[in-house]
Amino acid sequence: MIGTPTVKRRVVAMLYEALLLIAVEALAVFIYIFVTGNRQDPAYRAGLMVFLFLVTAAYFVHAWSGSGFTLAMKTWRIKLVKVGHAKVPFRNAAIRYLLAWGWFAPALVVGALLDLHRVKEWALVLILGLLAWALTAFLDKDRQFLHDRIAGTRLIALPKVGKKK
């Protein structure tokens, strides 16, 4: 039977995903710096943020609407599906990406409103925001995160592949 992966398993997969994403984003920063000549004007810094947002979107939306998983999700045997569809439609994958910013966006807004400057303060706000979003899975009968429920997608646990004798 295919069920929902545990919240712990999904969070560990997300931590692994963050490590992989660092490499993707580092390459994107290198390309952006090369193309822009490493200009440091505010418009170029804002452009870098937009570029990174779009690169990250391309990474996730392509993976989710293609195979249904990223490398980290495949490693942890977690797949994104949309019931009744062979593959997650591009639209649902894009909506899920935008809604998944719920993990970070509220904390970033709170930190900006409180005019935080210390790393410890930011870390606390981000940790509280992450915990709050993770708790949304416990409000759902199927233990799906809020962004999956709204996007019409769900995460499933794939079975272990048996060893060949």
Structural domain includes residue 2? no
Q: Name the pLDDT band for 150 (thresholds 50, 70, 90).
A: very high
Q: What is the pLDDT of residue 161?
A: 79
Q: Two tokens at 32?
A: 């952006």
Range of the domain at 57: 7-157
Q: What is the pLDDT of residue 163?
A: 65
Q: What is the pLDDT of residue 164?
A: 63
Rounded distance, CA 106 to CA 108, Å? 5
Rounded distance, CA 29 to CA 134, Å? 29
Phi first, then psi, for residue 92 (nearest 5°) are -65, -35
Structural domain includes residue 163? no
Structural domain includes residue 88? yes
For 65-91, what is the mean pLDDT? 96
* Residue 81: pLDDT over 70: yes
Rounded distance, CA 91 to CA 85, Å? 13
Structural domain includes residue 50? yes
Of the chain, the percentage scoring pLDDT greater than 90 comes to 74
- Spell out the residues 6+ positions from residue 150 whose beta carbon is closer than 8 angstroms to its own: 95, 99
- Structurally, the chain folds into a number of domains equal to 1
Structural domain includes residue 20? yes
**Residues 107, 130: contact at Cβ < 8 Å?**
yes
Q: Two tokens at 96?
A: 């899920």
Structural domain includes residue 165? no
- Please name the residue ranges forming H helices in the chain: 7-36, 42-66, 71-75, 90-100, 105-113, 119-135, 146-151
Structural domain includes residue 58? yes
The predicted-structure confidence for 20-58, as pLDDT tens digits, reads as follows: 999 999 999 999 999 999 999 999 999 999 999 999 999
- Which H helix or E strand runs over 78? strand 78-81
Structural domain includes residue 35? yes
pTM of the model: 0.87
Instruction: Write the single-letter amino acid at 136.
Output: T
